[in-house]
Amino acid sequence: MASGFFAILDDIAALMDDVAVSSKIATQKTAGILGDDLAVNAEKATGFLASRELPVLWAITKGSLLNKIIILPIVFLLSFFLPVAITYILILGGFYLAYEGVEKIVEYLFHRNKHKDETVEVIEEAAEVMEESAEEEKKKVRSAVTTDFILSVEIVIIALGSVLEKDLTTQIITVSIVALLATIGVYGIVALIVRMDDAGFKLMKRSNNKGLLSKLGQLLVNLLPIVIKLLSVVGTIALLMVSGGIFVHNIHYFHDLLPEVPGILKEFTIGMVAGIVAVVVVMGVKKIVALVKGKPAKHE
């Protein structure tokens, strides 16, 4: 009886060792997409009122965890019964990421001064303003969670691809660990970024605006807007590159296209073209719907 118990412990130890090695390999293979995930989600988690930053980030984190709970069993089932479906899901997700990336570029180039030129009503009901702000916040959270869902699918599939030769138990444990680490790691770093200014102000207050601590605090405060702008640019590029990477790795035509061109440039270009196509299609659909309803199309 005792020997049987210790044999089980040995099996568990061997499994954990195997999982540890597999998790390390899977994490290394997903490092690139995790970096893109960080850039994209950090950019999406900024731009809120200071008092709302952590609640919004927590809402996105909960959405990310729910995404993983939904994705993991579906990916395992599809991988076993219908592996080709994963490719089509990734391609659809690639179009969505490309659309988001190009839409950001279009917004910056053609609509950034839109709100400056519009007349703003000075007298508004406070409750109405708060309601609009809350609705805008929910919209941004939904957008972030949707983007996280697509990036999570990519992370899970890459992690699964690195342990396909392992037994099912090892696959499930390894991919689940990578998925959990992705959420904790990415949003933990995002939380540190969005609270940089608060940490800076506390350092300045504690040092009475004197000495090295005060200078460090001032540096953190001054760095935050620069980091946010940088993340916005990097996040947009990451969206297009991840999108292009999905097309290159899952469509043979794009994989074999222009082999002499550096992979990064090819993925970015393909993502940009896919995004332009997606934006044109979406704008066309909006105009058709607007004509049917008898209303002018409105750019969001």
In the numeric block, which tokens belong to residue 180?
């959990």
Please give the Cα distance from 240 to 259 (Å, whole number): 19
Q: Which of 64-78, 106-120, 199-213 has the lowest mean pLDDT?
A: 106-120
**Model confidence at 200: pLDDT above 60:** yes
In the numeric block, which tokens belong to residue 269?
């270009």
131 or 119, greater pLDDT = 131
**Inter-residue contact 173 to 32 (CB < 8 Å):** no
Helix (H) or strand (E) holding 173: helix 168-194
What is each CA distance from 206 to 103, 195, 224, in whole angstroms?
A: 43, 17, 20
Unique residue bearing structure tokens 């579906």: 74
**Segment 244-291, tens digit of pLDDT:** 888 988 888 888 888 888 888 998 999 999 999 999 999 999 888 888
Domain segments of the chain as ranges: 2-194+227-293
Query: Using CB atoms within 10 A of its CB, is residue 29 exposed (0-12), middle (13-18) or buried (19+)?
Result: middle
User: Span 220-241, mean pLDDT?
Assistant: 81
83 or 17, greater pLDDT = 83
Instruction: Give the single-character DSSP code of 121.
Output: P
Overall size of the chain counted in residues: 300
Phi, psi of 19 (to 5 degrees): -65, -40
Query: Of the candidates 18, 57, 59, 60, which has an alpha carbon nearest to the alpha carbon of residue 177?
Result: 18
Please provide the distance, in angstroms rounded to a whole number, between the alpha carbons at the two ends of the chain: 68
Residues ≥6 apart with Cβ < 8 Å to 188: none
190 or 73, greater pLDDT = 73
